[in-house]
Structures are given as structure tokens and as C-alpha cells.
């Protein structure tokens, strides 16, 4: 299947260029923000009693944005290419040249959300539930942008959905970005949306957050093990595993722990 002819730059005026990748971040953050607000009333988070009262979530978008960008960039620097950036420290802040890590962004948002929750008197687990429910929106748009940028492509394949990427050599490759958009984005979003809208999952602090973390970790491990090709300067580890695979293992374990904790605490409260 030929690679679609989509310019990564939407439009350019002089030195300013709007890229699909930047638009994906904007859509993910703003779209996720409005979706989060629509779920907030179902979670045990204080709500404004009148229109003049300030919501404890009003400034959350700023904190999440900073956590995403700073954490994502520093995560890429530390996890994927530390040697290069140690030799070229001036390039660390050159985000416009590419290079973001989900795992770094996840850590950045986690730290930002925890500090924000403590400042606002919100249960960090309940805030984590809202963020976990909305994160797949950003993941979906981000992976679509990765595909448009012809980056993070998969391993060579004879599968009918294989794509010949313009910078990936002559062989068709798995469009692993689209696989991730489906698993980490669309499917995970639908599962979490059902739990939030149709069950009382948001009343069990940490449950939705745990399902998201575990679901992402498992999805990423599958993609990394069977479809995605690692960065050329890193390569494979034992058993054909990758850096992304091993960074996702603790996410799966942590997510399952939070699910167990949320269900156990709820059961103990009911029995008590």
C-alpha cells in the first residue's frame, strides 16, 4: 500500500509553520480537557456551587500541558538518545525538530497532576481517573500525526496493510502508528468511556486510572514486541524486545496494582 501524499506542514507563513504534529497536541489537550470536564461531575471531586465560584479544575489544563511537553521531551532525551544530547545540550529544547516520549510525558503529567491535586485539595487518585479517561484522545491524534510524519514505523512485512514509507526503505512495513492509534487510542477510549458513563467506576478512586495505565502498557508491549521497529541507534534487546517494551512493563504492573487497590478499598468499605 503506498504512503498517502500528506504534507506534514499544514501551512507556512515565513518562518512560522503549523504542523499536523503540533495540531495533534492541541486537539488532544483541548479535546481531552472538555471531555474531562464532562466527566468531572461523576467523580468525587468538589464542584462549583454557582457560576461565580471557581472550579478546582480551572488551571489543570496549564499544568497538564507543561507536564506533557516538558516530560515528553526530557523523557526522549533520557530514555532514547542521551549520548547525543550530552554532546549537544543546546538541542534539548529544540522540540520543533521532533523527539517526544510518551513514557516521559506520562511521568511529567503524573507529577504535575499530583502536585496540582494536593494544592487544590483533590484526591490524586480521582484526578488520575479523569486524566486516564481522557488520555486516549491525545494518544489517538498523536499516533495519526506520527503516521503523517512517516516516523516510528514498523518492521518489514508481507501483510496486505503494509506501507512503503518514504524514509523506510523499499520494503513495505507495518503501519504501527495506526495500530497504536487503534489500540491505545480508540479501543482504550471506548472501554474507559463505557466504564465512566455506564458504571460507577469513577466512584472507585484509582480504578479508571489503573485500567488506563495497564491497558496502555499491555497495548504498547504488544506493538513493540511484534510490529514496531526500534530506533536504529538503540536496536533490539534480548528476545527481540525494545526500549519501549521494557518501559511499558512497569506501567502494566502499576496499573494492575491500582485496579486491585481500588476494588479492594471499595469492597472493604462496603463490608465495613
Relative orientation angle of helices 60-79 and 124-148, to the nearest 10 degrees: 60
Q: Which residues pair with 18 in a beta bridge?
A: 11
pLDDT tens, position by position, 178-233: 999 999 999 999 999 999 999 999 999 999 999 999 999 999 999 999 999 988 77
Lowest mean pLDDT among 26-35, 104-113, 146-155, 263-272: 263-272
Known binding site: residues? 143
**264 pLDDT exceeds 50?**
yes
d(CA 272, CA 163): 57
Q: What would the pLDDT profile of 222-243 be if each residue is shown by its tens digit?
A: 999 999 998 877 888 888 899 9
Q: Are 171 and 151 in contact (CB under 8 A)?
A: no
| Dihedrals phi, psi of 27, to nearest 5 degrees | -65, -40
This prediction has a pTM of: 0.90
Amino acid at each position: 500500500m503506498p504512503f498517502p501524499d500528506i504534507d506534514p506542514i499544514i501551512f507556512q507563513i515565513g518562518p512560522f509553520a503549523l504542523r499536523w504534529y503540533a495540531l495533534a497536541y492541541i486537539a488532544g489537550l483541548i479535546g481531552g480537557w472538555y471531555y474531562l470536564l464532562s466527566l468531572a461531575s461523576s467523580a468525587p471531586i468538589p464542584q462549583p456551587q454557582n457560576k461565580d465560584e471557581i472550579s478546582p479544575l480551572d488551571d489543570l489544563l496549564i499544568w497538564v500541558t507543561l507536564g506533557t511537553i516538558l516530560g515528553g521531551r526530557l523523557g526522549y532525551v533520557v530514555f532514547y538518545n542521551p549520548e547525543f544530547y550530552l554532546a549537544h545540550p543546546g538541542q534539548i529544547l529544540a522540540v520543533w525538530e521532533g523527539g517526544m516520549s510518551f513514557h516521559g510525558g506520562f511521568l511529567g503529567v503524573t507529577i504535575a497532576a499530583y502536585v496540582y491535586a494536593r494544592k487544590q485539595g483533590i484526591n490524586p487518585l480521582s484526578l488520575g481517573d479523569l486524566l486516564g479517561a481522557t488520555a486516549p484522545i491525545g494518544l489517538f491524534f498523536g499516533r495519526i500525526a506520527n503516521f503523517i510524519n512517516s516516523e516510528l514505523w514498523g518492521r518489514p512485512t508481507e501483510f496486505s496493510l503494509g506501507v512503503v514509507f518514504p524514509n523506510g526503505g523499499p520494503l513495505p512495513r507495518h503501519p504501527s502508528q495506526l495500530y497504536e492509534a487503534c489500540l491505545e487510542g480508540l479501543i482504550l477510549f471506548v472501554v474507559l468511556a463505557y466504564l465512566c458513563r455506564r458504571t460507577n467506576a469513577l466512584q472507585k478512586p484509582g480504578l479508571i486510572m489503573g485500567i488506563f495505565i495497564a491497558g496502555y502498557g499491555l497495548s504498547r508491549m504488544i506493538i513493540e514486541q511484534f510490529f514496531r521497529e526500534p530506533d536504529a541507534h538503540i536496536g533490539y534487546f534480548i528476545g527481540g524486545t525494545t526500549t519501549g517494551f521494557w518501559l511499558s512493563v512497569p506501567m502494566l504492573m502499576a496499573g494492575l496494582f491500582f485496579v486491585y487497590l481500588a476494588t479492594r478499598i471499595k469492597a472493604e468499605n462496603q463490608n465495613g
